[in-house]
Amino acid sequence: MSTHDATTAPPAAGEANYLNCSHGFRSWFFTLDHKRIGVMYLASILSFFLLGGILALLIRTELLTPTRTLMSADDYNKVFTLHGAIMIFLFIIPGIPAALGNFVLPLMLGAKDVALPRLNLASYHLYLVGALIAVLSIVQGGVDAGWTFYAPYSTTTNTAVVTLTFGVFVLGFSSVFTGLNFIVTMHKMRPAGMGWFDMPLMLWALYATSIIQVLATPILGITMVLLIVERVMGIGIFDPALGGDPVLYQHFFWFYSHPAVYIMILPAMGIISEVVSVFSRKHIFGYRAIAYSSIAIAAFSFLVWGHHMFTSGQSELMNMIFSALTFSVSIPSAVKMFNWLSTMYKGSIRFDTPMIYALSFMFLFGIGGLTGLFLGSLATDVHLHDTYFVVAHFHYVMFGGTVIAFLAGLHYWWPKMFGRMYDEKWGRISAIIISVGFNITFFTQFVMGSQGMPRRYYAYVDKFEPYHVISSLGSYLMAAGFFMTAWYLVKSLYRGRPAPANPWGGGSLEWQAASPPVMHNFTDEPVGGDPYDYSNQAYDPALGGYVLRKTEVSDR
Amino acid sequence: MILSGLVNTLSVRGAGVPFLATGDGTFWLPVRASEAAGTVDNLFYFIFWISLFFFTLLMALLAIFAVRYRRRREGEEPEPSPSHNLAVEVVWTAIPVLLVAAIFWFGFQAYVDMSTPPLDAYQIQVTGQKWKWTFTYPNGYVDELLHVPADRPVQLVMTSQDVIHSLSIPAFRIKRDLVPGRYSKAWFTAVRPGDYDLYCAEYCGTQHSSMLSTVKVLPPEEFDAWLREHSDILSGLTPVEGGERVYNVLGCKQCHTLDGAAGVGPTFRNLFGSERSFKGGGRALADENYVRNSVLDPQSQVVQGFEPVMPTFKGRIKDQEITALIAFLKSLSEHAPREEAPAAVGP
Amino acid sequence: MSTAHEGRDEHADPHLQHHFGSMAQQYDSGKFGMWLFLVTEVLLFGGLFCAYAVYRANHPEIFAYAHQFLDKTLGGLNTLVLIVSSLTMAMAVRCAQLGQQRRLKQMLAATLLCACVFLGVKGVEYEHKWKHGLLWGTRYAPQGETAAPAAAGTQVETTAAAAAAPADGGTTLPHAATGPEGLADRPQAGHGDAAHGGHGPAGPAPRNVHLFFGIYFVMTGLHGIHVLAGMIAIVWLLRRSASGEFGPGYFAPVDFVGLYWHLVDLIWIFLFPLLYLIH
């Protein structure tokens, strides 16, 4: 490792960086720079999040009354199908890895780019193509099969199923290529001296995620192919009238879609590990446990898909095995929670927006994870399956978990990505509004569900109306929080205070690059070390951020 | 067991504020109307209280740490403290393992009980289709509501006519998918007379949320009486109307048309009073006795040009119903003698 | 691994991408990436193999009956052709490593030729099936000399609604294929013995035979698409090698396409016995 004069400031904002070093559509759309690709992904996924969110508001508004409020039953079915498909395939699966991971991964490795930049660009282009094809299904009249496309309904309904599933198929490639790229990068482009256990936990998280992406997504691919072939050619594989088995579809589908939820949560957990440590100024507790648990979660995630099918007619033996394995996957997640909490113990905690989101994550993911116990247990699952209890559970883990962590990461790396600080006061207010609104929206759904309210219901019996009204009001509050967030973040791009290289005191290598980084990432070779050792940093009030202390050649 | 009793009491009392007049259910769960519901609920609350305990503990620590260890001035660094502790980490892994193992075990046990019907369960056939339920009782009676006797195991044998549906009775805590092309089963013992909601719980298209029915639990004697009464499909109908009902409900119409076209079996049009020629020789006049014989022993006289595939209805059809059927056949035939229509059949 | 390049200034190598420290790192990364991609391909086909396994386990009679409509000779020929193409591809990689430009182009061309033969033979097989109505789902409607005669009571399942004789475990199998014509030219005489090679008795075909053909077409069709993609990649290599771009210092693209090609071959080596050589 080289010495570094800590008092030399990195290039000031406004000098040539990756954002302003070249201009024009082509310089962005055909870039090979991982940072620009990350930013393009960010813009795209946030656009689809907006679309998916509007659909969610439509759903909640329709459900304000027990019968028709805004739309017909058919339209409602199409709205919830599209909401699910967009949120899952266009937002949350690419989400953290593509938008944030692409940006920070090479920086965290002190590298100039990912291993396969052209593949990275291809991944983004495929994402756009797949997304546009998927959204094209709206123009064709929509799809009403649910995002899970269960046969034989999906193979017989007269809606644009083929278009949407083909879009999903294409998106699968995008996901595989991202994962593939990350794995190769982490294996081949770690700097000398950075062993596996010297990497920040965000990278472990992305690594575990990438393994799942590479191994599970092809199964989604073949499932979509079979569905399309069934509809177009009528091969009969899922059609009981032709000797096929509709439940086989469910096995195929969930074999991908269960690991997929860990694609969603693992990177989120990676972000939380970073944020909690940095904002407590304390070494992450249980580094190895967190690293191993990420891999364990990835491995176990492939073994539990049948817990989505407990009432499908699967044998009791299969049900028992899946239930037991499902519980085993809960343990590593619980361990992480304890580790984060222990990181805060005797720390020095500052409640910047990323940390508020991280705390909110622990609250919301705690609930989401614990409610998974009810669903993993066979006898209770029979009662709760296909009710709003499940809807609440997955929104708590996917939204209260992944989206909240995504927001934490977005706020954490925003200064790095755009060289601007956002308004901290509005950041905190929005975080709280979103978290409170979220709980109002979804906690009521647990109660509704355990009382028997089934999911995917356009109309419902009167006794559930109060719950639905409360839930919908919560959703409006949450939406307000999101619009506020969008507003102050966009505003920061024009009016935000220029960001120092290391506003939060992060110890991983991206904080040694400028904010925003130059095109090739680092002007000086970054100094390695334990990413969670903050003792070599000092706060510089003039800068408004942290700098490395003057130091000898550091020994590792 | 002490544990389940304790849990039971705590849950009913602790969380037992009836919410928004949902009847006798608790805040979280509907009324317990089946034998299994008690076990399921105990498990639910077992998980609930464990979850609540640990969640409260974790959040309390979160709040305490957030306050106690908040940074008081900029640039403050914390005291060094260990970043791992094997003993603590082992303990906080082992305890959850034990707890979830227990949860798994109880869940599995209860589930096995819920999946193992007694041999003498009262079987009702269930057919799901877009978008209604049909329940067929052992005596062939078909209804759109599910009437069951209390305190007697009932087994539902179910299939779908089209896409996957799922029968859900929250008050009984049961749920099971109906898959086309195969049979699935669920069983329960209802313990509390009353009416309970029955939902379709697997999305099946436009009217998925209207695919509802009601479970009506009747005390055993009342159930028997109800079934007797309602199986009398002739009730309130004239003989001809009653006969037409028999034609529809007992399945004659699968094979016998009313319009003169031959189906699997001969048409009913102009059948009564006509001359019948049989396979293997022999002829007969299609009178009342002929009709009765055809229904109860169809293989004995098969009309020429048709296959011997008609099943017997012995045990499945009542004498009154045969009489009504005869009246119906007469109404369809120009060979039949004209008669005065008698008063409506039976009670 | 890459051949010796010590002493050369690597930053002068036009192929070295800016984010890599050395050609060795670049080569390793690319190779690892290609292996990972092959893993995803294995999983993609793995799903189909699973579907195959499930249906074969549940309906062995369908597979035992229907596979006889496949021509083992043509299938075997195709297997040989692909194995040869793998050989020529491997030799192409070697040529690139050694800088043997002319041989490299010849080997690539040979591989391409083998691939064309493979697809051609598949085309012949597909055409035969099409002609005889041996297709998937509701399109399954065997005709001509391949149809079991209706007089013997066999029912061809065209739709589920058709009442059919129950599957009888395949004990009354029709006569096995002797050539590209599928089921024998000999008429079904309705004689007894059901052994392979004997005169096929007529007897009911199992229900839902079309399931086999559905699986056959999807699996071989997807494989064929991969062969086509490989051919496109080989053409791309041919174009690049026209200017002598590949040599001891840079042969990675040839190497990686070679890996892909070997996998395409390997998948066929599994497909062939599973579809053609069922006992």
**Is residue A114 within 8 Å of A120, Cβ to Cβ?**
yes
User: Is the CB of C40 less than 8 angstroms away from the CB of A180?
Assistant: yes
Residue of A nearest to C39 (CA): A215
State which H helix or E strand residue B155 sits in.
strand B153-160
Q: Which two tokens stand for residue A517?
A: 């980084």
Range list of H helices, A419-518: 424-450, 465-495
User: Is the CB of A287 less than 8 angstroms away from the CB of B58?
Assistant: no
Cis peptide before A204 (omega within 30 of 0): no
Residue A317 has a pLDDT of 94
pLDDT 10s per residue in chain C (279 long)?
A: 444 444 445 567 888 999 999 999 999 999 999 999 999 999 999 999 999 999 999 999 999 999 889 999 999 999 999 999 999 999 999 999 999 999 999 999 999 999 999 999 999 999 999 999 999 988 888 875 444 433 333 333 333 333 333 333 332 233 233 333 333 333 333 333 333 332 233 346 888 899 999 999 999 999 999 999 999 999 999 999 998 899 998 999 999 999 999 999 999 999 999 999 987
pLDDT at A287 over 50: yes
Q: What is the pLDDT of residues A345-370, one digit of tens each?
A: 999 999 999 999 999 999 999 999 99
pLDDT confidence bin for B340, thresholds 50/70/90: low
pLDDT at B236 over 90: no
Residues of A with CB below 8 A from C158's CB?
none
**Side-chain half-sphere exposure of C196, counting CA atoms within 13 A:** 10
Residue-range domain boundaries for chain B: 2-71+81-115, 122-231, 239-331
Which of these, A478, A470, A401, A472, lies nearest to A437 by C-alpha position? A478
Q: Which two tokens stand for residue A203?
A: 């990278």
Residue-range domain boundaries for chain C: 42-276
Burial of B210 (0-12, 13-18, 19+ CB in 10 A): middle
**Side-chain half-sphere exposure of A474, counting CA atoms within 13 A:** 20
Predicted-complex ipTM score: 0.92
Residue B320 has a pLDDT of 84
Q: Residue C141 and residue A314: Cα distance in Å, rounded?
A: 34
Range list of H helices, A114-245: 117-139, 153-156, 161-188, 201-233
Range list of H helices, B116-238: 220-231
Q: How far is residue A473 CA from its own chain's centroid?
A: 25
Residue A356 has a pLDDT of 97
Closest residue to B110, CB basis, from A337, A366, A379 = A379
Q: What is the pLDDT of residues A393-452, one digit of tens each?
A: 999 999 999 999 999 999 999 999 999 999 999 999 999 999 999 999 999 999 999 999
Largest CA distance in chain B: 111
What average pLDDT does the structure give for chain A?
A: 94
**Is residue B231 within 8 Å of B241, Cβ to Cβ?**
no
pLDDT at A46 over 90: yes
**Is residue C137 within 8 Å of C210, Cβ to Cβ?**
yes
CATH class of domain segment(s) B239-331: mainly alpha
pLDDT at A117 over 50: yes
User: Is the CB of A452 less than 8 angstroms away from the CB of B197?
Assistant: yes
Q: Residue B333 and residue B270: Cα distance in Å, rounded?
A: 4
**Is residue A152 within 8 Å of A240, Cβ to Cβ?**
yes
Q: How far is residue B239 from each of residues B233, B254, B319, B330, B336, measured CA to CA in Å?
A: 11, 21, 12, 11, 15
Residues of A with CB below 8 A from B209's CB?
73, 454, 456-460
pLDDT at A556 over 50: no
Residue C67 has a pLDDT of 87
pLDDT at B22 over 70: no
Looking at domain C42-276, which of 3.40.50.1260, 3.40.190.10, 1.20.120.80, 3.40.50.740 is its CATH number?
Answer: 1.20.120.80
Interface mutation vs chain A, best among C27, C34, C36, most A CBs within 10 Å: C36
Q: What is the pLDDT of residues A217-266, one digit of tens each?
A: 999 999 999 999 999 999 889 999 888 999 999 999 999 999 999 999 99
pLDDT at A180 over 80: yes
Closest residue to A539, CB basis, from B74, B92, B166 = B74
Residue B307 has a pLDDT of 87
Q: What CATH architecture does domain B122-231 belong to?
A: Sandwich (2.60)
Strand partners, B189: B153
| Stretch A387-395: mean pLDDT | 98
Residue C9 has a pLDDT of 57
pLDDT at B68 over 80: yes
Looking at domain B2-71+81-115, which of 3.30.2010, 1.10.287, 1.25.40, 1.10.3470 is its CATH number?
Answer: 1.10.287
pLDDT confidence bin for A530, thresholds 50/70/90: very high
pLDDT at A296 over 60: yes
DSSP assignment of C40-105, as one string? HHHHHHHHHHHHHHHHHHH-HHHHHHHGGGS-HHHHHHHHHHHHHHHHHHHHHHHHHHHT-HHHHH
Q: What's the gap in Å between the CA of A41 and the closest CA on chain B?
A: 33
Q: What's the gap in Å between the CA of A43 and the closest CA on chain B?
A: 33
Contact partners, residue B319, CB within 8 Å, separation at least 6 = none
Which of these, B160, C279, C173, lies nearest to A152 by C-alpha position? B160
Q: Residue A544 and residue A414: Cα distance in Å, rounded?
A: 15
User: Is pLDDT larger for residue B345 or for residue C215?
Assistant: C215
Establish, for the pair of chains A and C, how many residue pairs have beta carbons separated by less than 8 Å: 127
Residue of A nearest to C25 (CA): A188
First to last CA, chain C: 43
Which of these, C279, C109, A347, C71, lies nearest to B82 by C-alpha position? A347
What average pLDDT does the structure give for chain B?
A: 87
Residue C143 has a pLDDT of 77
| DSSP label of C156 | -
Q: Which two tokens stand for residue A527?
A: 């100094």
Which of these, A171, A34, A42, lies nearest to A111 by C-alpha position? A34
**Is residue A270 within 8 Å of A408, Cβ to Cβ?**
no
Residue C144 has a pLDDT of 59
B205: region left, alpha or beta (phi > 0 left; psi from -120 to 50 alpha): left
pLDDT at A271 over 90: yes
Residue of C nearest to A231 (CA): C137
The three-state secondary structure class of C127 is helix
Amino acid (one-letter) located at A518: V
Q: Which two tokens stand for residue B135?
A: 């329940």
Whose tokens are 């707890």? That residue is: B99
Residues of C with CB below 8 A from A233's CB?
136-137, 139, 214, 217
Q: What's the gap in Å between the CA of B201 and the closest CA on chain A?
A: 6
Q: Residue A306 and residue C243: Cα distance in Å, rounded?
A: 55
Domains in chain A, please, with CATH?
34-548 (1.20.210.10)
The three-state secondary structure class of B26 is coil
Amino acid (one-letter) located at A537: Q
Q: What is the pLDDT of residues B123-174, one digit of tens each?
A: 999 999 988 999 999 887 888 899 999 999 999 999 999 999 999 999 999 9
Q: Could you tell me if C139 lies within 8 Å of chain A, comparing CB atoms?
A: yes
Residue C10 has a pLDDT of 58
Q: What is the pLDDT of residues C123-133, one digit of tens each?
A: 999 999 999 99
User: Is the CB of A311 less than 8 angstroms away from the CB of B30?
Assistant: no
User: Is the CB of A351 less than 8 angstroms away from the CB of B30?
Assistant: no
Q: What's the gap in Å between the CA of B130 and the closest CA on chain A?
A: 10
Angle at A366 between CA A361 and CA A372, to 5 degrees: 125
Q: Residue C48 and residue B52: Cα distance in Å, rounded?
A: 45
Entry field: residues in chain A:
556
